[in-house]
Each structure stands twice: as structure tokens, then as C-alpha cells.
Amino acid sequence: MPSQDDAPTELLLAVGSGNFHKVEEIAAALSGIAGPRGLKIRVLGKSAFPPGPEPLETGATFAENAQIKALSYAGLAAQLPPEKRPFWVLADDSGLSVDALGGAPGVRSARYAGENATDGDNNALLLRNLAQVPQPERGAEFVCSLCLVLVSPKADQPHTVVLEAEGRCRGMILPAQRGSGGFGYDPLFLVPSLGKTFAELSTDEKNALSHRGRALQALRERLPQVLAKLQENP
């Protein structure tokens, strides 16, 4: 990093996801974080990256896929000129694991009904597969794994995994959708303690208890220390 006198006031963090809702959630969760001398984080979406192939999510776990995606997008970011290059890349892999289905859809949550499946397709298949499962046995868990990578400015140096975090949220799968907010499986995922689905929660309510909200909170708690070290060792 530059010396203290000409150091930047913000670091660019690009999110490796084309899902606008995810980027919004991440930006909201990381807003207000600052280092000891006011160094802040500005969150960018997928448009910050140059064109390139989509990462192949070949991992067996959410954590493996998050790292695959983060390192892949860091490779794209490294191709940008210095003034446009993100300092960090953040990627997540998240999904739904249903007890009665042996953990499915799991890492294939976004592609449960096929490679080009819509949220509606995935929700419909989930309901069909649970049609004979009584409500008390429809327990499920949302899982989110995050991976933050430092983009190497030099082609001969590897990108560095800086932080990893995970969040989980238990709930139940309803027999029909409820609510108009959220995305993915949110309209089917009931939070028993609130009596609401994710799709019925406000953004603040969801961020406070969702799998992604909890993973982001873990990341948020550790980022100020990372910023402090950056400023101590420019």
C-alpha cells in the first residue's frame, strides 16, 4: 500500500456474484467498517470484473466452492489496470440442506432442477420431493460460506485467502410459498421462532439471523483487524 500521506481512503472489494440481491446484502452488512485512520471499504458488484468464464463449482462443500469462486474472480480482477483493480474479492457459496432429503439440494441448490433452473423451478422440485414428508420432519438448514481473497498485483504471485467465514440458520420447509421478498428458497423457509419465512422478513430482520447475515457478521467482526494490519504495514 502507499505511504500514510498518500494512502487511499477506501479499498475496493468486488463481490464475485451476478446475484444483485446477494451483492445488496453484502454491501449493507459491510457498510460502516473502517480502519483506525478512516480507511473504508467500498463494495462493488460483478460488473467490476472483466469478461471471463464462470467458475466451475466442483467442490464437495460450500466452503470449497466459495474458495474456488473467490480465487477465480481474483484472477479476472488481476487483469484490470491498477486504478480499477479491486483490492479484495469476496465470494460466497450458499444453499439449502433438507434433513429428509439427506442434505439435498446442498451444493447444487442453485441448480437443483437443472443447470438453467429458475427459483420457481427449484422451489417446485423441492415441494414435489417433500410431498410425502410430514411437516414435523421437514427440518432444514441454510448454510453460507464466505471467502475473502487479496488480489495479487503481480502475475507471478498467487492470490491470498485472507478470511473465511460460515453462517447457518435452522428452519422448516413449508408446503407452500409465503411472502414476496427475498429470493431462492426464501418463500418456503420458515423461521419457527418468528413464525415468518425469509421472504416475509425485512432486510434488517433477515440480515440479523440469516445464514449469510451470520457469516457476514463473522467477517465484519474480523475485518477491522485486517484493515489495521494493512495500515500498520503499508
Catalytic residue ranges: 93
Strands 189-191, 196-197: pairing kind? antiparallel
Taking only Cα atoms into account, the Rg of the chain, rounded to an integer number of angstroms, comes to 19
Q: Of 156, 168, 166, nearest to 67 (Cα)? A: 166
What are the helix (H) ranges across the chain? 20-30, 62-77, 119-129, 203-209, 211-232
Give the integer Cα–Cα distance in Å for 89 and 203. Answer: 23
**How do 40-44 and 10-15 pair as beta strands?**
parallel
Rounded to whole angstroms, how far apart are CA atoms 132 and 126? 12
